Amino acid sequence: MIKDGIKEGIIVVVAIGVALGISFTPIGRILELKLQDGLAFFHRNKGATNLFVYVNIDDATIDKIQVYPVPRLVLARAIEVIKEFGAKAIIVDSEFIDPAPLWVDTALYEAGEKNVEKVVVNQDSRFGEAIALEGTPVYLACRGVTESEKPRATWSEDNAELQMVYEKFFLSVENSLGMEKFPNELKMEFPVFPLYMYAAGLGDTTSEESEDGVLRQVALLRHFHGRYVPQLSFAYVLDALGVERSAIRMQNGYLVLPTREKTWSIPVNKRGEMLVRWVGGWKTQPWTNMISLVTLLEYREWKEYLGSMRQSNKDSTNSLAIEETLHKYQELLAYLKDKVVVIGYTASATTDVGAIPFDPSAPRVMLQVHMMNTLLMKNFLFFPHWGWDSLIAGVLLLILVITSRWTKSALQEVIVIGANWVLLVGWMVGSMVFLSRHVHAFFLVMLWILVSLFYVVYKFLVFDKQKQFIKQAFSYYLSPVVIKQLLSDPSQLQLGGEQREITAFFSDVEGFTSISEQLSPTEVVSLLNEYLTAATDVLLKYGGTVDKFEGDAIVAFFGAPVTQPDHAYRCAMAALEIQLKLSLLAVEWVQRGYPLLKTRIGMNSGPAVVGNMGSRQRMNYTMMGDTVNLASRLEGANKFYGTYTMMSETTYEQVKEHFVCRRLDLIRVKGKNQPIAVYELIERVGKLSPEREAVLVRFQEGFSLYEKRQWREAGEIFHALWEHYEDPPSKTYLERCEEFVKNPPPPDWNGVYVLRSK
C-alpha cells in the first residue's frame, strides 16, 4: 500500500501540473495578464513626475484645420511656438514617411499676392526649418516593417538616405551578448528629407500588444542590420541621461545604461521589453497639463495680428485689447518652459488608440509619456519570475501540508486553508506594492483552488480518521542526505560532446626529465606540486578549465563549459601571469637549491569538440580536434626559436589590440599541410619597456629582409640583436640566414619553415 504521505505528494504534484497546463492555454494566459493588471492597480499611482506636457491634436484642432491628418505646415507653426516658450524637448508621436503635398495659401492668393514662392509652400521644407530652429531638440518617429513598397525603406549599400539615418541615429553596441532575441526589423520607414536632417533623434514607434490586445510592455531597442533602433521616447531618455550608447549592454536581466555619473539598470525580458508602469487611464492619469494644438495656433495668429496692426499704426485701443488677449495666452503657455512636450493625436476620429491596463481606448500617445516617467523616475515593474514564484509556492504548500497535519477538526482545516489563502494573496499584493514585481497570479490562484479542493474533498473524507497515523508517518521520512542524492540531476553524467569555439592551452616544463634526475623523488613531487598549483590558480582565476595534468604538462582550455566570448584574451592573460609567477618562484627555488625551472606554452583558438568523454565507468570533461592538436604542436615549437609563449594566428587576431606580439615565422607543423603564422606573446599593450620595443622593431626589420631573400642584410641585423641583447629568435634566424647565403633555397621558396618533429 502506498503511503498516505506519498499519495498527498502525488496529488499536489498533479495539481501543480494541471495548474501549469491551464495557465499555458490561451484563456489561461489572458486571465494571467488580467490578474496581473489587477495587482498592478495597487501600485498605479507611485511616482509621477511633473516634467511632461501633452500637446493634443484633438477634436478642436481637427475642427479648426478641417484637414486630417494635420498639415505639416501647421505642425511647423506649433513647434515654433513651443520652442519660443523654452520647452526642454519635443517628441512628435506621428510618422512623416511620405512627402507632404504642396500647400497653397489661398488667403494670400485671394489678397492679391502673385509671388508663387509665397503662395505655394513646400511643407516638408517649412517643417524642417521649424525643427532646425535653435533651442528645443525635436525627436521624430520611424518604424520598422517586414514589408514596404518604398525603396528607401530597404537596406542596401546604394540607399544613401537610409545609410545616413543608420549612421546618425541607430546605436552601435559594442557588446550585444544577450540581445539576440531583441525584435528584428527587416526594413525601416523613416521621415522624409529634410526632416531627419534636423531631428535630434529618431525612435521606433512599433508597439506590440499582449494576447488580449492590451499594451503593457514595449521593446526599448529593436535590431536593424547590426545596430539598434531605440523606441521613440527612449531615444530622448538616452540623450537626457547622457548615456554612452556604445557601452549599453545586457546583464543579468537588465538593460544597463552607463553614463558619466552613474549606471542605470532597466529590468527587461529576453526580447528587451520593459513593462510600462501605467499610472492611470487617459482621464485618470496624474498629468492634467494638456494643451490643445489649437491654443498654440491661436497664440500665433494673435501675435501675427498684433504685429501687422503695429506696422500699419491702426487704432491703439484695439491694440491694447489684443495685447491683453495675447498676454493671457503667454501666461498659459509659460507652463511649457523646461517641459518635455509630446505631440500626438487624441481626436475621437483618430485610429491611434488602443487598450492599456486601466483604459480600453486610450490614445497611444500616452505610451511616450508613461514610458518616460517609468524610466526617469525608475518606477520599474519586474516581470514574473518562475524561480521566485516556485519558491514561494513551495514554502506556502509546505506550510499548508505541515499545519494541516495538526488539525483535528473540519473547522480547523478551513482555518488553515483560509490562512494559507491570506498568505498567498498577501504575497501577490506585497510583491507588487513593496517589490514592484509581477507574479504568475493565475497559476498560483489555480494551484491554490485545486489544492484547497483536494484538502476539502480528499482530506476531510479520507484522511480525517487517519490523522494520528499520518502524523506518526512523518517520522519515517528519508534523511536529507539520501533525498539530496536521489534528486540530483543525472543528465550531467551522460557521455557526449558539442562543438564550441575555444582557446586551447598547453604547457610543459623545459627539460623536466633532466631536472628530475638531479632531485630526490620527494623533492620532485614537492617542486612539481608547487608549480602546478601556482599555474592552476592562474588558469582558474581567468576562468579556464583544467583538462588534465600529464606529469609536468598542463592541458587546459577557455570558452567551455561556460561560454566566454573573450576566451583568447583570458588565455593570453593567464599565459603572461603564469610566466611572471614562475619567474618569481624560480628565484625562491634557486635559493632552496632547486634547478632553474622554465615552462613553454602553446595557444590556439578555434572550434573543438568539448564534453564528457570516456566510458560509462570512467569519463572526463575534455576537448578534441585539430585546434587542440595544433596548440600542443605550438608548445613544442617554442624550442626551435628559444621562446616560451607561442600562439597561432587565430589567437593573435583576437588579442592583437590588447597585447604586444612578435611574428616569429610561417610554419608547417607535423601532421598539417596548411602553413600557419605563429607569434610570440610578449606583453600587454602599454607595458613594454623602450629597450624591448626597440629590439622588436629591429627584429621586424630583419624579418622583412629575410622574407625578401636578402639574407646577408638580414643576418647582420640578427647578429647585432643576438650579440647585444641575446635575443633567442634572432639567433635562430641568424643561423638560417648564414645557411641560406651558402645554400639558397629554390626560387619557389615561400618562407614556410617545416617542423620535422614535435
How sure is the predictor about 469, in pLDDT bands with cuts at 50, 70 and 90? very low
How sure is the predictor about 460, in pLDDT bands with cuts at 50, 70 and 90? low
Q: How far apart are CA 213 and CA 310, in angstroms?
A: 56
Torsion of CA 644, 649, 655, 661, to 10 degrees: 50
CB 224 within 8 A of CB 159: no
Which residue do the cell numbers 615561400 mark? 750
CB 40 within 8 A of CB 360: no
How sure is the predictor about 608, in pLDDT bands with cuts at 50, 70 and 90? very high
DSSP conformation class of 477: P
- Which of the pair, 450 or 705, is modelled with greater confidence? 705
Over the stretch 470-487, which tens digit does the pLDDT of each residue have?
A: 333 323 322 233 233 333
Instruction: Kindly state the average pLDDT of the residues 489-509.
Output: 73
Is the pLDDT at 615 greater than 80? The verdict is: no
How sure is the predictor about 642, in pLDDT bands with cuts at 50, 70 and 90? very high
pLDDT at res. 342: 96
Which residue type sits at 278? Answer: W
pLDDT at res. 479: 27
Q: Percent helix, strand and coil across the chain, each rounded to 5?
A: 50, 20, 30
Beta bridge partners of 265: 256
How sure is the predictor about 220, in pLDDT bands with cuts at 50, 70 and 90? very high
Element (H, E) at 682: strand 676-684
Q: Any alpha helices (H) in 436-498, and if so which ranges? A: 441-453, 467-473, 480-487
Over the stretch 521-565, which tens digit does the pLDDT of each residue have?
A: 888 888 888 899 899 889 988 988 888 888 889 999 998 877 889
pLDDT at res. 467: 41
Instruction: Kindly state the average pLDDT of the residues 87-107.
Output: 88
pLDDT at res. 475: 32
How high is the mean pLDDT of the chain? 85
How sure is the predictor about 309, in pLDDT bands with cuts at 50, 70 and 90? confident
Is the pLDDT at 1 greater than 50? The verdict is: no
Is the pLDDT at 708 greater than 70? The verdict is: yes
Q: How far apart are CA 452 and CA 565, in angstroms?
A: 49
Instruction: Kindly state the average pLDDT of the residues 121-137.
Output: 93
Torsion of CA 189, 195, 200, 203, to 10 degrees: -20
| Minimum mean pLDDT range among 225-234, 431-440, 690-699, 711-720 | 431-440
pLDDT at res. 481: 31
Q: Is the pTM of this model over 0.85?
A: no
pLDDT at res. 338: 94
CB 387 within 8 A of CB 285: no
| Minimum mean pLDDT range among 115-119, 142-146, 347-351, 549-553 | 115-119
Q: How far apart are CA 217 and CA 210, in angstroms?
A: 8
CB 661 within 8 A of CB 697: no
Instruction: Kindly state the average pLDDT of the residues 273-292.
Output: 87
Other Cβ atoms closer than 10 A to 186: 14
Instruction: Kindly state the average pLDDT of the residues 500-516.
Output: 89
Instruction: Kindly state the average pLDDT of the residues 237-252.
Output: 95
Please state which CATH class domain 491-688 belongs to: alpha beta
How sure is the predictor about 757, in pLDDT bands with cuts at 50, 70 and 90? low
pLDDT at res. 93: 95
Q: Which of 38-42, 272-276, 279-283 has the highest mean pLDDT?
A: 272-276
pLDDT at res. 753: 85
Is the pLDDT at 446 greater than 80? The verdict is: yes
Over the stretch 2-47, which tens digit does the pLDDT of each residue have?
A: 455 566 677 778 888 888 888 888 898 888 888 888 888 776 556 6
| Minimum mean pLDDT range among 132-136, 524-528, 576-580, 653-657 | 524-528
Is the pLDDT at 406 greater than 60? The verdict is: yes
Q: How far apart are CA 174 and CA 114, in angstroms?
A: 57
Domain boundaries of the chain, sorted by first residue: 4-43+382-484, 52-376, 491-688
pLDDT at res. 756: 62
pLDDT at res. 466: 45
- Which of the pair, 671 or 567, is modelled with greater confidence? 567
pLDDT at res. 408: 62
